[in-house]
Structure 1
Amino acid sequence: MDTFKTTSGAVRGFRASSDVVAVLGIPYAAPPFGALRFREPAPAEAWTGVRDCTAFGPVAPQTAELPGSPVWSPGDEDVLTVNVWTPAPDGGSLPVLVWIHGGAYTFGSSAQPDLDGHALARAGLVVVTLNYRVGFEGFGHIPDADEAAFPDNRGLLDQVAALRWVRENIAAFGGDPDNVTVAGHSAGAASIACLMVMDRARGLFHRAIAHSPASPHYPRDLAAATTREVAAAAGCPATPEGLASATPQALLAASDRAVEKYRRDPASGSRHYDPSLYAPVLDGDVLPVDPLTGLAAGAGRDVDLLVCRTTEEYWLLDAVGSSAKVTTEEQLDRFAEDFGLPDGLVAGCRAALPDAPVLDVYLTVFGDLLFGEYARRLVEQHARGGGRTFQSVFDRRRTGPHGVVRAWHCADIPFAFGNVDKDCVAFLIGGAPTPADHDLARRMVGAWASFAAGGDPGWPSYDEAPGQPKVWRTDECDAHDVPAAPRELWAEAEFPLLRP
């Protein structure tokens, strides 16, 4: 059966293979434009007849052009959609995995080919991926606004709305609404950390998988300063009425100009190194507490958590040119000062890398700063709050014609989805997959499916083995130590790490 009933109407998908049906671009909320712009997501309008759902919906407003994904164009409004892959189109009660894409809260799409849910569905899961508002539309703070009318963290509220859609509709696709795992990468993983401490999300999921959770969330003063800067660049007042008068494309262009300004100006502080304007805002309402504090207090103790980080996160950001180059000792000292890093942290990393160029020391510290240390703290604080927690590390490297392809940011995702054969991932993994890569993908898919089904990925929890994360690598990879600053040097570092 390729037709399914949802609370808004019937939808028709297609056979992705003999044993999996895909249903794409199902609206879970109304288009967030016009009178609904900058508002909490509203219910999707019902339709009559059977809606054709054989193609992905449009992406949320962004300027990114991602391989294999739709490109946003003005007029693309039905952006709040979900996609479902089910191996049980005739009914069942299978575990559900809901994926939240990354993209620095600024770009990304559920249509990315490496996020195709087919392999995970064949492993016995009903897989859901979703789009949500990004950039100013989803995470821009609106000063002097009625918070009930123009809330902060609209992108997080979209994710909550999608999870409510799953609770109300997934049984029609053969999924169990009482066995839902939410998973994500980078900004998507950090969103999950937020969801775990949000009252609005309580009870909507039962397990969580966080790949490379990113550290920043913003205090309101920084978010308000960002809005004033973007509004000035867009030529509109930083008020609800003024911002609503600016088109999405105007705010996108203004945001891009602000990013480029930070990128060009070494005197712009911490934002110079990897400019990012948007993140969840610690507003005390939608996001009532910062995730690390909330988890330590037990806010998510009823949710099993699996955290996966890569060993060389930040090398990807350097390879694609999104990070400032730090190549001298003077620049490295300035970097540490701009982020307010604890005394001795960079020196500790330098001691672990005595023969490495300055750039490698910088990439090591910055990768830990944004991803690695936050991932470790997420594990520790969730366990401290009484939650079951598992940790893993992705360390698959490969030597190619142009040198070592590292275990960098995003490299684990094609393996976790079983999509190492997709053309778009060749850059991430260093070319065509080897038999050892296929074996690693099978093992990761199996572990993720097992965790989603019953909470057991196949290795001891953090409480049982706190210093022994599961390490993912192939037999082709030589085991190697990944130098980093000693953990005790991170003790004084605080999050968020961006400052006005």
Structure 2
Amino acid sequence: MTRRGQVKGHAVDAEVEAFLGLRYAEPPFGAARRFAAPVPTDFAGDCLEFGPIAPQSARLPGAPVWRPGDEDVLTLNVWTPSTSDGPWPVLFYVHGGAYTFGSSAQPDYDGTALARAGLVVVTCNYRLGFEGFGHVEGRPDNRGLLDQRAALRWVLDNIAEFGGDPGNITVGGQSAGAASALFLAAWEPVRRVIAHSVPNRCYTRGFARRVAEWIDTGTPESTVASADALAAAQRTGPLSYDPVLFGPIADALPAVEVDALLCHTDVEYALFDAVGTFRPLADLRAFGRDWGIPDHVVAAYEHFEDAHVRLAGDFVFAEPTTRLAEANGRAFLARFTRPPAWHTADVPFSFGNLDEANFLIGGPAGDDERALSRRMLKAWVDFCTTGDPGWTGVRHWGDEVEARREPWRGVDLSVPVDYPVQAPAGRPTNRPGS
């Protein structure tokens, strides 16, 4: 078992200590471990910098990049109050990134401000893309979720040595991390869940098999490159708009059965439109049909200038998140409407990390932004501590929001993705016998 006395962290300031890059499982590479369940391990030594990130091609501002040869990717980080008071409530937070990119080393997820306010904060890296969520015959599916579960079990076993209360753990996340948090809350004995912008994206095994036909798994770098090529090849059909190929292979997201703090932003897909990953080239009705959205719902959005963006955001994130709150009598629900109010804009406010978030929050933070951040951060801390974020929660948002939600009544949003996959030009399939 890892003990605080066996690892060396550093003092962030007089109030917070950080332990970065603690290994919770063996490197998931080599013939025996690649595409296998994680192998838990103990770690002792210096914990002064973030560990390597999972294989990916993304280059995110302020975050490290993956380099071929980096293999020790299953690490976690702990921020803890420096005082001997406690035990402190624990927030175990899973980063987002479409199950394909991102890491716990992104500046958005620095746990210093939350630890200063009275939490022990843990973040982790996990396998992404095909390494974490691709289908490999004879190997377990959802390996990225299994990694997260191994990290959470490490927390349950060890967090008391860092001043945390293993009996008062909240799992949290945003986007892919939010959905991951729901799975973790269904599997492990945690007290609460924080989930911002929960996507309604699960995938059938048949879809995962179709994707796997075009992935070159010879090396981690060939796996990333072939997955990128496959995403780029989706020029027609449902995947042409937003080619997310990986995610949980499951019939549906699990229900929330613990106290929950849920949130979505007002115009989720505006972020993807701004960075060019959302490609709404078809007319709105064709777009809706491709994604399986009923015509009467699409018609309700035709008056918006940014109709594609609003329709996609409500379909994938806003309506599913709201329904989770409605189905749980112990859930608190928030909508983040401060412009730009797009996907991920809420994260820096909740973590108290505004200084390096100009793009996400739409510009430099001023007094109003810092006041909002203090309120959101306090709500997280209060919820993790007591189950009450300090406000009553909202079930009805007034005429504008209710009118936007009304067309969705009775529409099934839980159907897993089972789209056709368009083959990359000139690339041989990996189908057996081909």
| TM-score of the aligned structures, taking structure 2 as reference length | 0.92
Aligned to 1:224: 209
Equivalent-residue separation in structure 1 for 2:376 and 2:5 (angstroms): 36
> For the Cα contact (< 8 Å) 1:62–1:107, is it kept in 2?
yes
Task: Give the counterpart of 1:370 among 316, 333, 337.
Answer: 316
**Hey, what does 1:395 align to over in structure 2?**
337
Deviation for aligned residue 1:46: 4.9
* SS of 1:17 mapped into structure 2: coil
Select 1:253's aligned residue among 221, 225, 229: 225
1:489 positional shift: 3.3
What is the aligned length?
Answer: 418
Selected match of 1:434 from 366, 380, 399: 366
Q: Which amino acid aligns with 2:419?
A: R
**Aligned-pair CA distance for 1:89:** 5.5
SS at match of 1:445: helix
The Cα of 1:14 is off from its aligned counterpart by 0.6
Cα displacement string for residues 466-498 of structure 1 (whole angstroms, at most 9, x for unaligned residues): 2259xxxxxxxxxx9569744343522333355
Q: Secondary structure at the match of 2:288?
A: helix
What displacement does 1:311 show? 0.3
- Equivalent in 363, 369, 387 of residue 455 of structure 1: 387
Q: Is the 8 A contact 1:349 1:483 kept in 2?
A: no
Tell me how far apart the structure 2 counterparts of residues 7 and 32 of structure 1 sit (CA, whole Å): 24
CA contact 2:268–2:341 (8 Å) conserved in 1: yes
- CA offset digits 1:300-323 (Å, max 9, x no partner): 42x211111000110000000001
Secondary structure at the counterpart of residue 172 of structure 2: strand
Contact 2:267 2:342 in 1 (8 A): yes
Q: Per-residue deviation at 1:210?
A: 0.4
Runs (4+) of structure 1 exceeding 6 A deviation are none
List per-residue Cα deviations over 1:231-256 (Å, max 9, x = no partner).
xxx2xxxxxxxx4xx10100100000
Does the 8 A contact of 2:23 with 2:43 survive in 1? no
The equivalent of 1:417 in structure 2 is: 351
Q: Check whether the contact 1:365–1:485 (CA below 8 A) recurs between aligned residues.
A: no
C-alpha contact (below 8 Å) 2:4/2:161 kept by paired residues: no
Superposition deviation, residue 9 in structure 1: 8.0
1:39 alignment partner in structure 2: 36
Shift of 1:349: 1.7
CA contact (8 A) 2:17 2:80 kept: yes
Question: Which of 407, 411, 416 is the aligned partner of 1:492?
Answer: 411
Are 2:295 and 1:343 aligned?
Answer: yes
Residues 169-227 of structure 1, C-alpha deviation per residue, up to 9 Å, x if partnerless?
11111110000011101000011222233xxx231x21000011111100111111111
2 CA distance for matches of 1:281 and 1:498? 11
Quick one: which of 355, 366, 376 aligns to 1:444? 376
- Answer whether contact 1:98 1:128 (CA < 8 A) is retained: yes
Q: Which amino acid aligns with 1:229?
A: W
**8 Å contact from structure 1 (residues 390, 460) kept in 2:** yes
Structure 1 counterpart of 2:161: 172
With over 3 angstroms needed to count, the CA separation of the structure-2 counterparts of 1:120 and 1:80, relative to structure 1, is same
Change (3 A) 1:484 1:101: farther
User: CA, structure 1 residues 432+483, in 2 after alignment: closer, same or farther (shift >3 Å)?
Assistant: farther
Q: Cα distance, 1:331 vs. partner?
A: 1.9
Question: Residue 59 in 1 paired to residue 45 in 2?
Answer: no
CA offset digits 1:144-190 (Å, max 9, x no partner): x1xxxx11000001111111110111111111000001110100001
Aligned to 1:312: 267
SS in structure 2 at match of 1:83: strand
| 2:396 and 2:402 in contact (8 A); partners too | no
Q: Which amino acid in structure 1 is aligned with residue 375 of structure 2?
A: R
Counting only pairs closer than 5 Å after superposition, residues 11-90 of structure 1 correspond to structure 2 as: 11-34=7-30, 35-47=32-44, 51-88=45-82, 90=84
Q: Which residue of 2 aligns with 1:477?
A: none
Q: Is the 8 A contact 2:14 2:82 kept in 1?
A: no
Cα deviations across residues 115-144 of structure 1 (Å, max 9, x unaligned)?
A: 11010011100111111110011000113x
For residues 90-489 of structure 1, the aligned pairs below 5 Å read: 90=84, 92-143=86-137, 145=138, 150-197=139-186, 201-203=187-189, 205-230=190-215, 234=216, 243=217, 246-262=218-234, 265=235, 267=236, 269-282=237-250, 290-291=252-253, 294-295=254-255, 300-301=256-257, 303-326=258-281, 331-350=283-302, 353=303, 356-357=304-305, 360-383=306-329, 388-397=330-339, 406-422=340-356, 425-461=357-393, 466-468=395-397, 485-489=404-408
**Structure 1 residue 45 displacement after superposition:** 4.9
Q: Is the 8 A contact 2:24 2:42 kept in 1?
A: no
